[in-house]
Chains A and B, each alone.
Chain A
């Protein structure tokens, strides 16, 4: 039973009447979906796929929101041995042009055999296909619609092998859509079993609740594939509904006696400050075993805020756990806090910053220290080491790049042997994250690239800078974007500084507005801080490139203008 279809089949045969998913819907009662029903929905989609000649090995890109069609589209692909790839859905904020551009990039690299979407989205998908054809892409996917699902009797294929690609994971943004992480059934099952052991998963008593998007590893693996495959009931809420009504998740957790929930760091702050008291009146979360903080820098302060706010509902500090994960390892690399409190390390701030050494202060020394939250210990089957620029292993407490080797690594970036080769060094996968090991615990300190993580979404500053330069009034090549950690929201905010010669107040306001709109509609994030600077304010490197770190420091010490 080491393939997804075999696992689903076993559940249907042993516990077909057991609820696999409690699907939460806006303004409608919860929809319980049993394993038998899930298989019938999947079979309905599978028969559509097969009618179009889609079978083993075909990549099926799925553009659907949470609902029965999405469940059917994914598990239907699993049933016919195809490779599902769930893509982000177009949001009201994002411009259709930008979304189409990303989709064309995906069509060009991944070359899916089909795209499954709603009839309403068909015109958009057709435009993307036309654009792809215009760019000389010859292998175009067929378009299938799945507005509602006709259940059917499942046919169980027995020719699916452990090394077949089970699914593709893409991250959002134009860069992300060009790199699909291909994961074999073997890798997925090695991860599921190792991670289940790490979190002491018990299908008889556990229940997982999630609002996370399914195009991201934390949503797709920990909060979708893991519970359904291992027979743990899942309470599933759409991210669109959660962000509008975060209390809904807590209410549903209480109703279904949820025990586990994965959340990015900002979600702890968001729920602690945005949930109304009356909406959680009588909500009891004492059945919870663990909230798992994952996918963006984790803060002890966010845990404290959450525990303080919801202590009355039965939330306790012992439920706060941490995890370091990445799609390339299917999901988890480490897990902390399941058998005791999450370790907290307090190294000397200066040694960490200047010597890349997480040295502890000598007794009696009152020098400034940093509060570092451990990401936990490697799960079974995963080896972690810290390496320097030459790939040499570093000693305990020395900061370097986090490298890993495991039995659940990606098969490769799909159709990207170049990117796959680049990601490894001597058999070790280089994560691009910096960190150190101490007493077997992993502490993540930062990132190699200038990546900004906003609410769990990865954005590259260079993409934002190029977008900003398109706005009239901005001086060419004189823009910088960087992340600023915001204590209140528990995540990074995007800050943008643009040089301009405009001096008139009204024109400057219009420019700021133009920049804000441009970033909002053409990227996955919004720019919370937009500052205008006079010509030659930005610090450039000797090669003429904008120096992000230097400009960030300059902005913090002497902002170019007061944003009152």
Chain B
């Protein structure tokens, strides 16, 4: 429980909470980018440098751009960036559900008897990760490549506009 961890927790949770409350869509997206950066900082603090860089590349770099593109492609005017505030009834039930979930998980965390033995930080190098990925997890890596290809092809098919002959028919 260090000072750095507390600061990171405040950054992650603060920006996520602010994103839950802001009415402006662009502000929400940018605040969530800050939250993802905080998670990358947590990975660095925990000693998983490679994962931290992957998080920055995938979430902060690529995913935020895709989200901003989606926001800009799906608006017609400046006023539309303000999404309506959530309806009170749904918001209340959502908060109740969130508090209940975190309460259950928190109670479970405190009720569990954790192994009190001190743990030394596991030594993992990028070379070691690469050898593991290409050795024991080679099949999963190939499957992941297939999954990414299929997902991107599916995204193109979904987002592409309907073909003209279809429009003539309707």
- Same assembly: no
